[in-house]
Amino acid sequence: MEKLYLNRKFIILGLFLFTGIIFIIRLFYIQVMAENYILSANNNVLRYITQYPARGLIYDRNGKLLVYNEAAYDMMVIPREVKAMDTSEFCRLLGITVNHFRERLTQARRYSSYKPSVFESQINRENFGALQEKMFMFHGFFVQPRTLRSYSYPAAAHMLGYIGEASPSIIAQSPYYKASDYIGISGIEKSYETELRGRKGMKIRVVDVHNRDMGSFQEGHYDTISLPGRDLWSSIDVDLQILGEELMRNKKGSIVAIEPSSGEVLCLVSSPSYDPNLLVGRIRNHNFSLLSADSINIPLFNRALMATYPPGSTFKTVNALVGLQEGVITASTRFGCPGGFALGNGHVVGCHDHAGPLDLEESIQHSCNTYYCRVFKSILEKDGFYATDKDFNIWRNHILSFGLGKRIGLDLPSELSGNIPSSAYYDKYYGKNRWRSLTVISLAIGQGEVLVTPVQLANMTTVIANRGYYIIPHVIKGVGQPDSVNRTLMEKHFCTVDPGYFDVVVDGMEKVVLAGTATNARLDSISICAKTGTAQNPHGDNHSIFIAFAPKDNPKIAISVIVENAGWGASWAAPIASLMIEQYLKGEVKRSELKERMMNGNLIKP
């Protein structure tokens, strides 16, 4: 009877074996095939603790500290460890409301009850001092040090730039950055980010399910040490920079000074500016929106690199050099000036009163428009009246070789290229062969389509000061130690005008100050070579422009000053440039009356 069911023994046996095989297949899948479990296991127990290195400091050319780090403190919270406590006292010490407290705690809880999250970021030192004494009363809260940028002088904001938390798009692009890491956003902070930031280190700790530290992972074998950021030595003279910003107070415009022999930028003033300490820490977001909302002064706009102006008469120096190089004039070429240059269609390029006829030196000294219209006409008609296109391109290539019409490539972000129009532009505008020298005659006197940035203008002055070449301007001269910057940056960029042609132009520029259009820029015992400019523009009164270098022989400083809507070049820009040269070459300004007058001038109409 019972034997009937003997085969059932094998069915039960089969069931046992089947189950065992299922388990082994499943084990094979999760232990041998799948790889995500080992990752999940590491996520469970390993905590990667980032060691943030100190960001590099920034010094000026004389070793004065410009940018340093100050300790700030993030209040952290581990929600599950928070116990009953004197909440109102805590809020008072932290300077927050009780509602805010509850809100943040709920937020933190939502993120994780056992992982730390930022409760309040960047508590300043004063609040922290008071808090530190009483932290033992607040279980679950702890303070994590962090560093904030701090600026010794309320100056050079545009050039130094600022840092901020890395944006999601940066994090997506670069594996180095994680959420809430700092990154340079503008200025030197941005262009020298890699040098300044150093390298983050990583400590790997093992934790248990309650996030308690159970020791280092494999005796720290996989830990990496952080490398501190490298200090930078800027070429900026901070005293010169501060004077420049003071002189430009309540004026729009820019001052750029360069050491001609090295290309080192001595100051980079953009006005109106702001105190760089405003864009630090918790107040940053608030101040940033205030500054970016100021549509009248546009304080965040770096005019030195990004504003473009017609160079006006300062451009005559370059046109004179091109004329000499092309052989259409010589140093002794004289043109009479009947008070203007007739264009033949009833229009006249006007000129002011001066004696005549003038030779080349005198034409610079007195800034004669007629002279340069004739020079420019000669350049564009050198190969005949109908060869405008060819001659224009020859002229344009000379101009480009002075570092105009293109980004110079200095070590700061957001530089604009200005504009030296091409023949293609005029072909498009007027039609091919439908324009001649007289059509574009305003280029002769730096008006019309030609646009330059203040830094380009200073660099152009450098070319004249150097009698034929420039070195790419740069604001950093040392990384890690003073004067250690890559020497390939010191390569000389020669312009297409032979050095021999420069002397006559330089002599003319010297006369500008001695007995020409800018006698108010004179400085005893130092020979300044300069050129005024008065740029007509569609935005209102003429811009006051001045370029200069000094001393005449072996120049130490080349400078461009632009004061928007300030009238004649000699009115504001020339005295400001003169004061800057005095400060730099003599270490102090003796002409305090002139300085006061320049500083107090208010050219921003309310």
Partner 1 sequence: MRREYGIFHRIDWVMVFLYLALVLFGWINIYAAVYDESQPSIFDLSQRYGKQMVWIAAALLLAIVTLAIDPKFFSQFAWLIYSGLIGVLILVIFIGRDISGARSWLHIGSVAIQPAEFAKMATALVVAKYLSKMDLNLKKVQTWMKATILILFPALLILLQRDMGSALVFLAFILVFYRFGMSGLVLIALVAMPVIGILALLINKLILIGILFAGAVFFYFMTQRKFRHLMIVLVIFLGSVGYVFSVDYAVNHILQPHQRERINVLIGKTSDLKGAGYNVNQSLIAIGSGQILGKGFLHGTQTKYNFVPEQSTDFIFCTVGEEWGFLGSIVLIVLYLILFIRILTVAERQRSKFCRVYGYSVASILFFHFAINIGMTLGLMPVIGIPLPFLSYGGSSLWAFTILLFIFIRQDAYRLELV
Q: Where does this chain bind partner 1 (CB under 8 A)?
A: 1-2, 4-5, 8-9, 11-13, 15-17, 19-20, 22-24, 26-28, 30-32, 34, 36-38, 40-42, 44-45, 206-210, 214
Burial (CB count <10 Å: 0-12, 13-18, 19+), residue 345: exposed
By beta-carbon proximity to partner 1, the closer residue of 5 and 136 is: 5
Nearer to partner 1, 98 or 214 (CB): 214
**Minimum CB–partner distance for residue 4 and partner 1 (Å):** 8
**Whole-number Å distance between alpha carbons of 558 and 485:** 21
Tokens of 387: 């060869």
In the complex, minimum distance from the CB of residue 215 to partner 1, in angstroms, rounded to a whole number: 9
Comparison of 36 and 525: residue with beta carbon closer to partner 1: 36
Distances from the Cα of 471 to the Cα of 249, 408, 500, 549, angstroms: 30, 10, 19, 15
- CB nearer to partner 1: give 24 or 387: 24
- Min CB(213)–partner 1 separation in Å: 11
- Token pair belonging to 3: 């034997």
- Adjacent-strand bridge partners of 529: 549
Cβ atoms of 239 and 155 closer than 8 Å: no
Tokens matching residue 315 = 């451009």
Q: Minimal distance in Å, beta carbon 42 to partner 1?
A: 8
Shortest distance in whole angstroms from residue 27 CB to partner 1:
5
Q: How far is the CB of 180 from partner 1 (least distance, A)?
A: 24
Q: Measured from the CB atom, is 8 or 605 closer to partner 1?
A: 8
Question: Smallest gap, in angstroms, from Cβ of residue 230 to partner 1?
Answer: 38
Closer by beta carbon to partner 1, 213 or else 503: 213
- CA separation for the pair 249, 251 (Å, rounded): 5
Comparing CA positions, the residue from 351, 357, 355 lying closest to residue 369 is 351
Residue 595 CA, chain-centre distance (Å), reads 28
Nearer to partner 1, 21 or 172 (CB): 21
Q: Choose between 3 and 539: whose C-beta lies nearer to partner 1.
A: 3
CA dist 81 and 86 (Å) reads 15
- Token pair of 371 as six digits: 């002279």
> Is 446 in contact with 310 (CB distance < 8 Å)?
yes
Nearest in space to 382 (alpha carbons), one of 464, 322, 472, 310: 322
Smaller CB distance to partner 1: residue 213 or 596?
A: 213
249, exposed or middle or buried, with CB in 10 Å at 0-12, 13-18, 19+?
A: middle
Kindly state the tokens that stand for 247: 């002189």
Maximum C-alpha span of the chain: 142
Q: Residue 394, class by beta-carbon neighbours within 10 Å (0-12 exposed, 13-18 middle, 19+ buried)?
A: middle
- Name the minimum Å distance from CB 140 to partner 1: 20
Nearer to partner 1, 14 or 480 (CB): 14
Instruction: Go through 309-342 and write b for each residue having 16 or more CB atoms within 10 A of its CB, e for each that does not.
Output: bbbbbbbbbbbbbbbbbbebbeeebebebeeebe
- Which of 9, 83 has the CB closer to partner 1? 9
Question: Parallel, antiparallel, or unpaired: how do β-strands 182-184 and 141-151 relate?
Answer: unpaired
**How far apart are CB 80 and partner 1 at their closest, in Å?**
14
Q: How far is the CB of 217 from partner 1 (least distance, A)?
A: 9
For residue 148, what are the CA distances in angstroms to 125, 131, 163, 167, 274?
Answer: 11, 19, 9, 18, 18
Evaluate whether 530 touches 547 at the Cβ level (below 8 Å): yes
Q: State the nearest-atom distance from the C-beta of 81 to partner 1, in Å.
A: 17
Closest separation in Å from C-beta 78 to partner 1:
17
Q: Which is nearer to partner 1, 3 or 487 (CB)?
A: 3
